[in-house]
Amino acid sequence: MINVSVARRYARALLAASQDSADQVLTQLEAVVAFLDQNPPVFDALCSPALTKAQRHAITAGLIAASPGMHGSLANLLKLLTDRSRFPVLPSLGRLFREQVDTKLGRVRGKVTSAVPLSGPQVDALRVQLERLSQRKVILESAIDKSLLGGLVAQVGTHMYDGSLRAQLSDMAQKLSAPVR
């Protein structure tokens, strides 16, 4: 099991080291995590105690070299994780670092799910409304769920806004089945 407190400490240290470049480092870190997610043998090798530190450092050096323009603090973090045999925390570290950067920059991530694809202007209008409600900048991700029938469901941080036809029909069914007083 991955120790989340260890990942949180590394994420805090990376945030402190990256300072004003935190958003750029976040983008690069997410790219590294995505690459390793798509290439499990590479991630497994970096986590493997069967390989020597020198072999794992060589893989890390190749990973850094394959990412031109990598921020120095991120490159140092990858080397440190390799040196301390902490590479398995990288996916958790990436998630926690994203949360910390978002908090630092006053933004929140959200997801809107609709029955049909939303147009760009519709997503923009929804983003503006969600920013007004949350009083923070919202980074919105769109998804489609045909089981909604109509309407949409938006989740921003821990808040859920359910304006789906399914929820409205369910609410109506509850009201109709309630005993009359």
Per-residue pLDDT of the chain (181 residues; tens, 9 = 90+): 457 889 999 999 999 999 889 999 999 999 999 999 999 999 999 999 999 999 999 999 999 999 889 999 999 999 999 999 999 999 999 999 999 999 898 899 999 998 889 899 999 999 999 999 888 899 999 999 888 778 888 998 888 888 877 777 888 888 888 787 7
Does 146 share its domain with 92?
Answer: no
6 beta partners: none
Angle at CA of residue 77, ends 71 and 79, nearest 5°: 105
- What pLDDT is recorded for position 2? 59
Distance CA 67, CA 9 (A): 24
What is the total count of domains within the chain?
Answer: 2
Does 86 share its domain with 111?
Answer: no
Contacts of 25 (CB under 8 A, 6+ apart): 14, 18, 71, 73, 74, 97, 101
110 beta partners: 140, 156
From 39, 70, 103, the end of a domain falls on 103
Does 26 share its domain with 70?
Answer: yes
Does 94 share its domain with 144?
Answer: no
The whole domain housing 98 covers 4-103
Does 162 share its domain with 86?
Answer: no
- What pLDDT is recorded for position 173? 83
Which parts of the chain fold into alpha helices (H)?
A: 4-18, 22-38, 40-47, 53-65, 72-83, 90-104, 120-134, 165-177
Residue 117 is given by DSSP the state: P
